[in-house]
Amino acid sequence: MIKLAVAGSPISHSLSPLLHTTAYELLGVQATFSTKELTDLDFGEFYFKAKASGYRGLALTMPLKEISIGFVDRVDPVAKQISSINTIIFESTGSIGLSTDLMAFKSLLKPYFGKRIGILGAGGTARAAIGALKGTGSEVTVLTRSMTRHDQLHAAAVDLELSFLDWHNFEEIQDRDLIISTTPAGATDGLSVISSKADFFEVIYHPWPTELAKRYQNLGKSVIGGLSLLVEQALFQIKYFSQKDFDFDQMRQTLLKVGYESIRK
């Protein structure tokens, strides 16, 4: 029996227990997957308890993805690049921090490698997206209200052509090939789009669709939803936690179906 948990705040809406439990049942792996409501102030105590009590791993959501780096014994170099982890694996030699968010973005963004991409927001999720584009020759423009996170974003992929625009210049990035929204729920509701060349990637899966996603759908643009990102990063976590090989394509379709049915309820 492997012990697992997803931790963060708020956590009650998380689909991770459903996705992981479904996968482990299909893989024939005995596992418990619990939810832990934790803020950055509570994380340290829980981390050491989990480490001492035989947990196999933790999935992390906000606001734990940055503070948790200071607790793990080793950080995967790619995760260190973006200063964010969302996965902890406990091994006999110590704990390892990984970013399956970055791995998921790399899978989902492949059709847009080398193209022009706009990103809304400048937090940890934006860094994961930028980190996934490292080495692809993509041209990235970030729309942000904050002028203090530019260095962190540059560090996520030092080889990228990266530029910045004020949040109010949303219309200026409609000629991009893809726009990725990495902002919290409601943050983009006031943005309007009359016409656009860009496809749209929304990292939020609840509520779905967001107001901005609806606007791109109404324009007939290709829209990638947050459920796709959630499932994709979970696939990598499931592989690490279970140590089982499985068909990603088949499992992806199963988990997308399960997740979509849960969101529709």
Both 248 and 168 in a single domain?
A: no
Both 138 and 110 in a single domain?
A: yes
Q: Give the chain's domain count.
A: 2
Both 88 and 108 in a single domain?
A: no
Both 50 and 107 in a single domain?
A: no
Identify the pLDDT of residue 110: 98
The parent domain of residue 52 ranges over: 2-98+227-264
Identify the pLDDT of residue 95: 98
Both 173 and 233 in a single domain?
A: no
- Which letter does DSSP use for residue 184 in this model? P
Please answer whether residues 16 and 34 qualify as being in contact, where contact means their C-beta atoms are separated by less than 8 angstroms.
Answer: no
Both 108 and 170 in a single domain?
A: yes
Both 197 and 127 in a single domain?
A: yes
For the question of whether the overall pTM of this predicted structure is more than 0.85, the answer is yes
Identify the pLDDT of residue 150: 84
Identify the pLDDT of residue 151: 87
| Phi and psi angles of residue 233, each rounded to the nearest 5 degrees, phi first | -70, -30
Both 204 and 132 in a single domain?
A: yes
For the chain, 265 residues long, the average pLDDT of each consecutive 10-residue run is: 96 94 98 96 96 96 95 95 96 96 98 98 94 96 84 89 93 97 92 96 93 97 97 98 97 97 85
For the chain, the maximum distance between any two Cα atoms, rounded to a whole number of angstroms, is 55
Identify the pLDDT of residue 43: 96
The CATH number given to whatever domain includes residue 152 is: 3.40.50.720
Identify the pLDDT of residue 264: 82
CA distances 177 to 93, 116, 134, 195, Å, are: 44, 5, 17, 13
DSSP element (H, E) containing 3: strand 2-8
111 upstream amide cis, omega within 30 of 0: no
Both 177 and 67 in a single domain?
A: no
CA distances 99 to 59, 81, 203, 234, Å, are: 10, 10, 15, 11
**Closest of 18, 8, 102 to residue 60, by C-alpha:** 8
